[in-house]
Structure 1
Amino acid sequence: MIKATRTDDRELIINAELIIEIQETPDTIITMSNGKKVLVKEKAAEIVSRVIEYRQKIMNGIEKAGEV
């Protein structure tokens, strides 16, 4: 899960696994796998960074679990 900010300043938690695409038009629109579109304040590059960081944390956890 990643955090983002709606345009009205409310915090939003998004399931990073369900993101299909991110567009800047110039607002950032995140399209989810169910077709829902979410408008957020963060730039697309920041959302991508958060998704990468989220996935790295998951992979690091899997690697550590294998070190038993």
Structure 2
Amino acid sequence: MIEVTRLNGKAFTLNALYIETVEAFPDTTITLTTGSKFIVLENVEQVRQKVKTFYQHIQVLSNPHLRGEEE
């Protein structure tokens, strides 16, 4: 789960496993695999970093093959 902030300043938690796209329109829009969309204050790079940190925390990125390493 990652914490992001709505445009009204209220923080909420989002399950990063369901994120399909993160785009800037110019506001950052997160689209989930369910079709739900959220507009947040964080920029695209901040959301990417939060997702990466979350994946590392749950060890999705712990597998060398997923990181692109041969051995």
Q: Where do 1:10-29 residues align within 5 Å?
A: 10-29=10-29
Q: TM-score, length-normalised on structure 1? A: 0.85
Q: Where do 1:51-62 residues align within 5 Å?
A: 51-59=51-59
Alpha-carbon separation, structure 2, partners of 1:59 and 1:40: 26
CA RMSD after TM alignment: 1.7
For residue 25 of structure 1, report the CA deviation from its aligned partner.
Answer: 1.1
SS of the residue aligned with 1:7? coil
For residue 12 of structure 1, report the CA deviation from its aligned partner.
Answer: 1.0
Structure 1: 5+ residue runs without aligned partners?
Answer: 64-68
SS of the residue aligned with 1:48? helix
Alpha-carbon separation, structure 1, partners of 2:35 and 2:58: 25
Alpha-carbon separation, structure 2, partners of 1:54 and 1:22: 15
Superposed CA offset, 1:5-40 (max 9, x none): 000001110000000000001100000111010000
Q: Where do 1:33-48 residues align within 5 Å?
A: 33-48=33-48
Which has a greater percent of helix?
1
